[in-house]
C-alpha cells in the first residue's frame, strides 16, 4: 500500500490503489489504525477503515450501502453499450450488491442449497477431487501450486455444487480473472473485461438453464430453477446474475486462501510441524483453518457507499463517498487479538476473525470454504512430507479488494 513520503510530524497519506509491499501490507494498515483510523484517501476518493470494531460496525451500518454506482451507458462507445447495459443490469441482481427486501429474498432462496447437511454431504466428493489433483502433482521438483491445486480444487467444487459441467472450468478461470478486475484493479480497464466476461457467462448459463430445465438433477442450479419456476420469486435475470456471483465468489477467494494458507504454514515451520503432528485431529485442523483466515484471509477489504451524510468518529462522511472496510487490517488489530502478527494455529479466539465479513452480507459460502480447506490441507501434507517455498519473490495480484497470488512456486521433496 502506498504511503506518500513519510515526513516526521506529517500525517500519513495512503493510496489503496498503489501497493508497493503487496507481500506484507499489514504494517502500513496498522499504522493507519494507530494514526488515522478513519482515513481519507483523496486519490481513491475513499475512507479507509482499519480497526476491528469500526470494520464490524461498518458491516452493520445501514447508512453504508452495497449498491455500486455505475457510469451511464452514454459514457462508452456505442458498440460496447449493449454489453455494458447487460453487465450493469447483472450486477444489480447480485445479492452481494443488493439491499433489502431484494437481498433478503435472494439470500433466503440461495441458502436453500447451502444447508450444513448439503455442504457436509459434499465431503467425500471433495476428498476425491483433492486426491485426484494430488496424484497428478509430481513427487518431487518445482511446480506452480495455484495451477496444480489451488485453482482447480475450488473451481471443480463450485461447479459440482452449482451443477455445471467441469468443461467450463477453463473459461471460468478467464471469466473470473476479468470479473475480478471490476473489484478494483489499479491501472487496468475495470469496466470492459468484467462486462464481456459477464456477457459470455450469461449467454452460457441461459443455454445451460434451458437444457437443465428439461432434464433436472439435484444441484443448486436445479433448486434455483425450481424456485424461479415455482413461485417466480426470482426473475430469470436474478437467477443468472446470482449463478455468476456463485461461480465467481465460490472459487476465487478459496483459491487465494489455499495458497496464502500454505504460504503462512511454510513460513512458520514450528506451526507447520504442529499441524503435521496432528493430521488426524479435526479440531487442530479446524483451528489452523481459522487462523489462516484471520492471519491472511483472501480479501483486503469490502466496499461500501455512504447513503447519506453522517459523522463517524468526528469525521464527516458525505453521501456517495466510498468507504473501504479493511477486514485484513481488522483481523490483525492488536485492540482485538493478542500479538496479532503471530501466526498461531492454537490461538483460542481466531474464529472471531471477520474474513467472511459480518452482518447481513456475511459470506454464504463459509462452510464450503472451510470444508475444502479441512479436506485439502491434511491430504496435501500427507502426500508431501517435505515442502518449501523456492523463493519469496512471487507476484501478487494487484487488486484493491482481492488478495492473492496468480501463481505460487512450490518445491516438493527434500533437497531438490
- Cα separation, 202 vs 247, whole angstroms: 12
**Residue nearest to ligand HEM according to CB distances in the complex:** 365
Would residue 101 be called left, alpha or beta, if left means φ above 0 and alpha means ψ between -120 and 50 degrees?
A: alpha
Q: Which of 407, 233, 261, 408 is closest to 345 using CA atoms?
A: 261
Q: Which residue has the cell 501497493?
A: 19
Cell of 185: 484493479
What percent of the residues of the chain are helix, what percent strand, and what percent coil, each to the nearest 5? 55, 10, 35
Query: What is the smallest separation between the CB atom of 46 and ligand HEM, expressed in angstroms?
Result: 15
Q: How many residues bind ligand HEM (CB under 6 A)?
A: 24
Q: Which is nearer to ligand HEM, 44 or 83 (CB)?
A: 44
Other beta carbons within 10 angstroms of residue 20's beta carbon come to 10
Does 224 interact with ligand HEM (rule: CB under 6 A)? Answer: no
Among 363, 379, 381, 389, binds ligand HEM (CB under 6 A): 363
Cβ closest to ligand HEM, residue 97 vs residue 387: 97
How far apart are CB 215 and ligand HEM at their closest, in Å?
A: 24
We find the least distance from the C-beta atom of residue 238 to ligand HEM, in angstroms, to be: 13
376 binds ligand HEM (CB under 6 A): no
Residue 46 in contact with ligand HEM, rule: CB under 6 A: no
Q: Cell numbers 449463478 label which residue?
A: 243
Task: Pick the stretch among 143-151, 185-193, 242-250, 305-313 that binds ligand HEM (CB under 6 A).
Answer: 242-250
Output the nine-digit C-alpha cell for 162.
452449482
**Binder among 355, 371, 375, 377 for ligand HEM (CB under 6 A):** 355
Q: Which residue(s) pair with 15 in the sheet?
A: 2
75-105 burial code (b ≥16 CB/10 A, e <16): ebeeebeebbebbbebbbbbbbbbeeeebee
Between CA 297 and CA 52 the distance in angstroms is: 14
- Using CB under 6 A as the binding rule, whether residue 191 contacts ligand HEM is answered as no
What does the per-residue mask of binding to ligand HEM show for 314-353, with x meaning CB under 6 A?
----------------------------------------
107 binds ligand HEM (CB under 6 A): yes
Identity of the residue, 192 or 370, whose beta carbon is nearer to ligand HEM in the bound complex: 370
* 95 touches ligand HEM by CB under 6 A: yes
Do the Cβ atoms of 315 and 321 come closer than 8 Å? no
Site residues (vs ligand HEM, CB under 6 A): 66, 95-96, 107, 245-246, 249-250, 253-254, 257, 297-299, 302, 355-357, 361, 363-365, 368-369
Amino acid at each position: 500500500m502506498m504511503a506518500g513520503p513519510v515526513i516526521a510530524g506529517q500525517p500519513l497519506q495512503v493510496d489503496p490503489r498503489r501497493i508497493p509491499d503487496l507481500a506484507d501490507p499489514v504494517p502500513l494498515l496498522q499504522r493507519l489504525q494507530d494514526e488515522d483510523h478513519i482515513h481519507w484517501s483523496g486519490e481513491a476518493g475513499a475512507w479507509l477503515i482499519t480497526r476491528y470494531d469500526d470494520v464490524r460496525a461498518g458491516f452493520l451500518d445501514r447508512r453504508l450501502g452495497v449498491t455500486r454506482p455505475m457510469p451511464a451507458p452514454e459514457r462508452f462507445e456505442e458498440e460496447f453499450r449493449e454489453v455494458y447495459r447487460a453487465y450493469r443490469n447483472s450486477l444489480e441482481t447480485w445479492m452481494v450488491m443488493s439491499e433489502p427486501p431484494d437481498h433478503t429474498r435472494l439470500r433466503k432462496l440461495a441458502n436453500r442449497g447451502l444447508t450444513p447437511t448439503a455442504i457436509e454431504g459434499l465431503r467425500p466428493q471433495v476428498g476425491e477431487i483433492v486426491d485426484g489433483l494430488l496424484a497428478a502433482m509430481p513427487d518431487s521438483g518445482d511446480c506452480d501450486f495455484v495451477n496444480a491445486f489451488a485453482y482447480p480444487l475450488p473451481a471443480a467444487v463450485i461447479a459440482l455444487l452449482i451443477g455445471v459441467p467441469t468443461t467450463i472450468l477453463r473459461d471460468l478461470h478467464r471469466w473470473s480473472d476479468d470479473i475480478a478486475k471490476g473489484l478494483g484493479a489499479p491501472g487496468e480497464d475495470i469496466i470492459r473485461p468484467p462486462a464481456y466476461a459477464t456477457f459470455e457467462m450469461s449467454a452460457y448459463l441461459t443455454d445451460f438453464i434451458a437444457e437443465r430445465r428439461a432434464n433436472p438433477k439435484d444441484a443448486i442450479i436445479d433448486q434455483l430453477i425450481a424456485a424461479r419456476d415455482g413461485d417466480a420469486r426470482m426473475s430469470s435475470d436474478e437467477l443468472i446474475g446470482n449463478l455468476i456471483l456463485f461461480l465467481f465468489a465460490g472459487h476465487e477467494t478459496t483459491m487465494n486462501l489455499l495458497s496464502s494458507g500454505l504460504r503462512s504454514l511454510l513460513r512458520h515451520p514450528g506451526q507447520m510441524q504442529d499441524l503435521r503432528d496432528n493430521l488426524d485431529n479435526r479440531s487442530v485442523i479446524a483451528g489452523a483453518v481459522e487462523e489462516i483466515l484471520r492471519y491472511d484471509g483472501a480479501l483486503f477489504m469490502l466496499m461500501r457507499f455512504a447513503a447519506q451524510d453522517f459523522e463517524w468518529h468526528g469525521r464527516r462522511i458525505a453521501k456517495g463517498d466510498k468507504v473501504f472496510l479493511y477486514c485484513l487490517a481488522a483481523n490483525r488489530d492488536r485492540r482485538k487479538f493478542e500479538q496479532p502478527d503471530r501466526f498461531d494455529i492454537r490461538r483460542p479466539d481466531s474464529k472471531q476473525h471477520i474474513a467472511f465479513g459480518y452482518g447481513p452480507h456475511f459470506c454464504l459460502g463459509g462452510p464450503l470454504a472451510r470444508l475444502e480447506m479441512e479436506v485439502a490441507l491434511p491430504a496435501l501434507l500427507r502426500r508431501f512430507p517435505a515442502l518449501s517455498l523456492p523463493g519469496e519473490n512471487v507476484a501478487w495480484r494487484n487488486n484493491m479488494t482481492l488478495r492473492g497470488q496468480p501463481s505460487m512456486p512450490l518445491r516438493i521433496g527434500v533437497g531438490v
